[in-house]
Amino acid sequence: MDEQMEYVFFSEALADKFVAYCSGFGVGFEVISEELHPGELSFTVQMKGQLDDETIEKIEDYYNDLFFGEQAAQIEGNDENGALADACGVQVQLQSGEFTTVAIHPEIMNKILSVLTVDELQSFLSQVAEDIENPKSGPICRREDLPSL
């Protein structure tokens, strides 16, 4: 797949760690820093290159581990109940090959992630996108192409 993908971090160290990981796949990248609020920076890693689905999945898994693990632990205001954030989202690949980020309120995301893994959530949202892009009619019990785990 030859397209540009973007990954956002709020820590330069984590963005650098992500870039180091992705460099092993021979993909080009650029890191763009942006001031969100006075004293608060974001670091967007833009990648472009020829990537197969397996490589994209590895990169997505690594990003999710960093974003929902190490980065969430660094957000100011986190406590023993988990990460407190203003916004979060999950990337979903559309039929066209483009990626979109589904915005989810942090409280809802915490509830979802208390029962689903990030991979299960992405799989669910991918199925929703598939069914929206390709509407299906008739009762579910008569469908031959039901989603599987």
- Structure confidence by residue, pLDDT tens digits, 54-86: 888 898 888 887 776 665 555 544 455 554 556
Give the number of other CB atoms < 10 A from CB of residue 38: 5
What pLDDT does 1 receive?
45
* 93 and 75 within one domain: no
Whether residues 105 and 64 fall in one domain: no
Helix or strand (DSSP H, E) at 40 = strand 40-50
State residue 6's pLDDT score: 84
The answer to whether residue 3 sits within a structural domain is: yes
- 6 found inside a domain: yes
pLDDT in the model for residue 12: 86
Tokens of 76: 């100011």
Residues 70 and 91 in one domain: no
Q: Are 44 and 32 in contact (CB under 8 A)?
A: yes
Task: Note whether 3 and 72 are same-domain residues.
Answer: yes
Q: Is 66 helix (H, G, I), strand (E, B) or coil?
A: helix
Q: Which residues of the chain have pLDDT under 70?
A: 1-3, 36-37, 68-87, 149
> For the chain, how many structural domains are there in total?
2
CATH number, domain at 58? Answer: 3.30.70
Mark whether 67 and 118 lie in a shared domain. Answer: no
H or E element at residue 108: helix 106-113
**pLDDT given for residue 70 in this prediction:** 63
Provide the pLDDT for residue 55.
Answer: 87
Together in a domain, 63 and 100: no
Cα-based angle 94, 98, 101 (whole degrees, multiple of 5): 75
Do 94 and 65 belong together in one domain? no
Report pLDDT for 147: 77
Distance CA 112, CA 27 (A): 32
User: pTM of this prediction?
Assistant: 0.50
Give burial (CB, 10 Å; 0-12/13-18/19+) of 93: buried
Segment (H or E) for 16? helix 12-23
Provide the domain limits for residue 124: 86-135+145-149
pLDDT value of position 66: 79
